[in-house]
Amino acid sequence: MSLTFYYAPMSTASITQLVLAELDVPFEGVKLDIQKGETKKPDFVKLNPNAKIPTIVHDGAVIWESAAITMYLGETFGVDKGLYPAPGPKRGDAMKWIVWTNVTFGDAVGRWTRNTTSWYPAEQQNAKAGEAGLADVHNCLRILDDALDGKQFLLGSDYTLADTHTNSFVDWLRHMKMDLSKYAHLTAWGQRCAARPAYLKVMSGA
Ligand SMILES: N[C@@H](CCC(=O)N[C@@H](CS)C(=O)NCC(=O)O)C(=O)O
């Protein structure tokens, strides 16, 4: 088995890094420096024409988009380990949260940051669009908080890669110092996710 993981620290690839740590599968990591333009180099663009990380190559299969990677790694390595559901309704539930995170939640976070942070040129920003994005971020956080009411994890009592994926995305908001304390179920869930040995290992840089 061969598995190569292209990544950069403090990026969307952190989601995949946590997924790989949970699965405990061997891989070769290839670190790319976005600032130095390493994601734009022809050899990498041949693998991922979007020129973005995370990207994985598993036994010759090239997979990009973090949601697709989580689902692919989950079904390939996670079912036997109890970290990803077998095909069926629970699998659908996992896919729902992973795709929702990247598409609906990700879009709201993207509109908010694109219009309010210095990562993007001021002349391309629109304050009203930023406000609307932030309102939608909070709506997503409310949806997540409600979904976690009375549950240990997104799919019920067992931790799965849906939790790894979605919590890692919420980590971005924590990193940006967004106050999430009013989302009590989400906050408690985040603490449970952060207590996972794989999470602690990745965060300690081990
Ligand atoms: N939708 C993609 C987003 C990936 C993405 O935006 N990656 C950024 C880092 S966070 C990247 O590789 N940027 C490289 C560049 O813009 O040159 C996913 O979920 O995998």
Q: Are 158 and 200 in contact (CB under 8 A)?
A: no
Q: Distance, CA 162 to ligand 1 centroid (Å)?
A: 20
Helix, strand or coil for residue 6?
Answer: strand
User: Does 66 contact ligand 1 (Cβ within 6 A)?
Assistant: yes
pLDDT of 14-66, one tens digit each?
999 999 999 999 999 999 999 999 999 999 999 999 999 999 999 999 999 99
Which residues 6+ apart lie within 8 Å of 187 measured at CB?
A: 180, 181
Closest CA to 166 of 72, 104, 97: 97
CA–CA separation, 112 vs 133, rounded Å? 4
Give the residue extent of every domain in the chain: 3-78, 89-196
pLDDT of 87-111, one tens digit each?
999 999 999 999 999 999 999 999 9
Atom of ligand 1 nearest to the CA of 64: 20
Atom of ligand 1 nearest to the CA of 37: 17
User: Does 52 contact ligand 1 (Cβ within 6 A)?
Assistant: yes
User: Does 113 contact ligand 1 (Cβ within 6 A)?
Assistant: no
Task: Give the domain 89-196 fold.
Answer: Glutathione S-transferase Yfyf (Class Pi); Chain A, domain 2 (1.20.1050)
The residue whose CA is least distant from atom 5 of ligand 1 is 52
Angle between helices 127-147 and 106-116 (to 10 degrees): 150
Mutate to test the pocket of ligand 1, among 53, 168, 172 (most ligand atoms within 8 A of CB): 53
- Which CATH number is correct for 3-78, 3.90.420.10, 3.40.30.10, 3.40.50.20, 1.10.10.10? 3.40.30.10
CA–CA separation, 17 vs 9, rounded Å? 9
Closest CA to 31 of 4, 47, 8: 8
Inform me whether the pLDDT recorded for 177 exceeds 80: yes
User: Does 39 contact ligand 1 (Cβ within 6 A)?
Assistant: yes
Q: Where are the alpha helices (DSSP H) in the chain?
A: 13-23, 42-47, 66-73, 89-100, 106-116, 127-147, 161-175, 184-194, 197-203
SS3 of 51-68: CCCCEEEECCEEEECHHH
pTM tops 0.95: yes
Any idea which residue has 């290992």 for tokens?
201
Burial class, 47, CB count within 10 angstroms (exposed 0-12 / middle 13-18 / buried 19+): middle
Helix, strand or coil for residue 80?
Answer: coil
Atom of ligand 1 nearest to the CA of 67: 19
User: Does 11 contact ligand 1 (Cβ within 6 A)?
Assistant: yes
pLDDT of 2-24, one tens digit each?
999 999 999 999 999 999 999 99
